[in-house]
């Protein structure tokens, strides 16, 4: 994967949800990969949703003081705040693509952070919104970096030059 990747709330929630071990494993693998590659981005909206939903998932088994650090560590990704430019972009997206308001805000946040990928299960895998493409993290495995190849250009072409053939000089 190249470029920045926006992570929606459901990925953070599944990473902490032991009731769904397969999704938990996939979400954790994506988050670990994005953390190592320093390509992860999110928004304050996504982190807020994550915190509320993780509290619901854990119920009385974990206190808010135990849950908060799981969310707060992603402040390192400089989450985009809900501000006027975000709201204006979200309104354009809502009108153009007929998305829900909350999904429009997520897509707008991804666009404003110049992300190429939006990891979410809430939108159809493969959808494109301008330069942002949706990927369902539970349908795809984490990609390893592509191998880099260099092409060696030969010093002299092996083909004969274009144009008319030269006549052999007669002596």
When the pLDDT of each residue in the chain is averaged and rounded to a whole number, the result is 88
Q: Is the separation of the CB atoms in 112 and 85 below 8 Å?
A: yes
pLDDT at 159 exceeding the cut of 90: no
Domain boundaries, the chain: 4-80+115-135
Q: Is 154 helix (H, G, I), strand (E, B) or coil?
A: coil
Q: What is the pLDDT of residues 29-86, one digit of tens each?
A: 999 999 999 999 999 999 999 999 999 988 888 899 999 999 999 999 999 999 999 9
Q: What is the pLDDT of residues 107-130, one digit of tens each?
A: 999 999 999 999 999 999 999 999
Look up the pTM and report it: 0.80
Residue-by-residue DSSP string for 35-97: HHHT-EE-BHHHHHHHHHHHHHHHGGGS-HHHHHHHHHGGGGG-PBP--HHHHHHHHHHHHHH
């Amino acid at each position: 994967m190249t470029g920045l990747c926006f992570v929606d709330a459901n990925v953070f929630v599944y990473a902490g949800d032991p009731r769904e071990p397969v999704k938990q494993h996939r979400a954790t693998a994506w988050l670990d990969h994005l953390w190592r590659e320093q390509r992860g981005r999110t928004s304050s909206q996504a982190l807020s949703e994550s915190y509320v939903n993780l509290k619901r998932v854990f119920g009385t088994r974990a206190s808010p003081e135990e849950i908060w650090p799981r969310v707060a560590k992603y402040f390192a990704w400089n989450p985009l705040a809900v501000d006027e430019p975000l709201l204006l972009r979200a309104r354009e997206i809502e009108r153009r693509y007929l998305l829900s308001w909350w999904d429009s805000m997520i897509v707008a946040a991804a666009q404003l952070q110049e992300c190429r990928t939006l990891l979410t299960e809430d939108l159809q895998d493969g959808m494109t919104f301008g330069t942002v493409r949706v990927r369902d993290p539970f349908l795809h495995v984490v990609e390893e970096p592509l191998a880099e190849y260099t092409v060696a250009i030969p010093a002299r072409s092996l083909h004969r030059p274009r144009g008319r053939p030269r006549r052999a000089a007669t002596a």
